[in-house]
Structure 1
Amino acid sequence: MAHVHTFCLPHYDQYPVHVALFRNLSNAAFLRSQLLEANPAFDYAFLDADMIVSPNHLKSACFHALHHTMTNTLKARTPHSELVFRLHPNNNIGEAYRKFGIADTTSKLIAVKLALSPDVTKDQVADHLGAVVQGDSVPIGDDAAELAMHTDLKKVKTVYKLNEKKTSANPTTDESERKELEAVILGIMTVKGS
């Protein structure tokens, strides 16, 4: 059984979001193949943990995915693919998958399941992910520390085209740099989401 963290978003309390984090992933190619085959048992957003800056970054993408699902304004094929799409700064769905989604070489994975029906429970998600994901399940919560350990800030800045001119010249700590980066990224996502 995998460790799964569940949270609800404002205005969408009836649709819990289940999230799991894995390190040392060894079957990324298999999981990716199941997504490409549109296997309904693998209807998740599988994300490269390198690209997620904070819980707020992830929650923003989840909120946009739920909002566009509930308002019938999806740009992607499914709510989970919409989540991946909403993380990327532009409107290229294929590029969003290449930058934020699972690749054959992914070693740190975030699995997200939007519970759009009552039969999707935390235990069901934990059992399924525990059975199909070959990697070390890591407990996570709303604390940014666990996600921060996995972020590749250089890759994130490259994808969002954030150079030193767009962020402060001399951040005092890694934490202040991360907070500033998070604020800029959330702004980019909000503009795209409108």
Structure 2
Amino acid sequence: MHLTQELQLFPDYRVTQMLFRDIKNAAELRQYAVEGKINGALINPTMVVSPFLAMLAANKAVHLQTLGKMKTRSLNSEIIFNLSPTNNISDAFKRFGISDGDNSVLVVVVHKKDELQFLSDVTAMVDGQQVPVEEVSSLSDVAKIKKLYKVTPQEEKCGSLLDAVVCRMAIKDIL
């Protein structure tokens, strides 16, 4: 149900993603995240095209943390911020973080190789059904994603929506 991958540039770290549907306690989860009771980024899956995007955002967050150049206060908030095509932190949280009324959540946790206790901890906190992470694309709001990342029809002819979003995430720091 969950997806765990090693960060190739940081082999001591793993990124685990868990997707939950039909959640009933989004407001409570958001409060837990604010208080630091959940050690993970709580992401609105309607704004995520593929699990690859969360992995990319987590990898960049670990890299920036290692360099001491994070733009936010924590690794988890940096993951959410890295998904955004803009440099506006509060806008990133509004668009990519979960809201009180959301009914699904993608939890992204960066951890050391042998740490696995968080899996049962997170699962116990979420009042919802865990589903395979690969189903995240079925929850995506493609129209909102295209609008936010300003993906043109011409661009879609030569690449995928995922390609366009990855490019926007990559050039964000340059613009």
Q: Same fold (TM over 0.5)?
A: yes
- Secondary structure of 1:25's counterpart equals coil
Find 1:152's aligned residue among 126, 131, 141: 141
Q: TM-score, normalised by structure 2?
A: 0.91
Cα displacement (A) at 1:43: 2.6
Mapped partners of 1:6, 1:150: distance in 2:
20
Kindly provide the amino acid, as one letter, of the partner of residue 171 in structure 2. Answer: V
Gapped runs of 5+ residues in structure 1? 172-178
Report the more deviating stretch, 54-63 or 16-25. 54-63
- Secondary structure of 1:41's counterpart equals coil
Report if aligned partners of 1:48, 1:101 keep a CA contact under 8 Å in 2: yes
Report if aligned partners of 2:22, 2:103 keep a CA contact under 8 Å in 1: yes
Report if aligned partners of 2:54, 2:108 keep a CA contact under 8 Å in 1: no
Find 1:26's aligned residue among 2, 24, 27: 24
Cα displacement (A) at 1:133: 0.4
Number of paired residues? 174
1:80-91 map, 5 Å:
80-91=76-87
Cα displacement (A) at 1:159: 1.4
Mapped partners of 2:107, 2:20: distance in 1:
8
Cα displacement (A) at 1:165: 4.2
Q: What percent identity do the matched residue pairs reach?
A: 30
- Secondary structure of 2:37's counterpart equals helix
1:33-44 map, 5 Å:
33-36=31-34, 39-44=35-40
Q: Which residue of 1 aligns with 2:130?
A: 137
Mapped partners of 1:106, 1:65: distance in 2:
25
1:30-179 map, 5 Å:
30-36=28-34, 39-115=35-111, 117=112, 121-122=115-116, 124-140=117-133, 144=134, 146-168=135-157
Mapped partners of 2:106, 2:173: distance in 1:
22
- Secondary structure of 1:109's counterpart equals strand
Mapped partners of 1:138, 1:47: distance in 2:
15
Gapped runs of 5+ residues in structure 2? none
Q: CA RMSD in A?
A: 1.8
Report if aligned partners of 2:14, 2:113 keep a CA contact under 8 Å in 1: no
Deviations 1:33-88 (A, max 9, x none): 2223xx23213100011111112212111111111011110001101100000000
Kindly provide the amino acid, as one letter, of the partner of residue 180 in structure 1. Answer: S
- Secondary structure of 1:167's counterpart equals helix
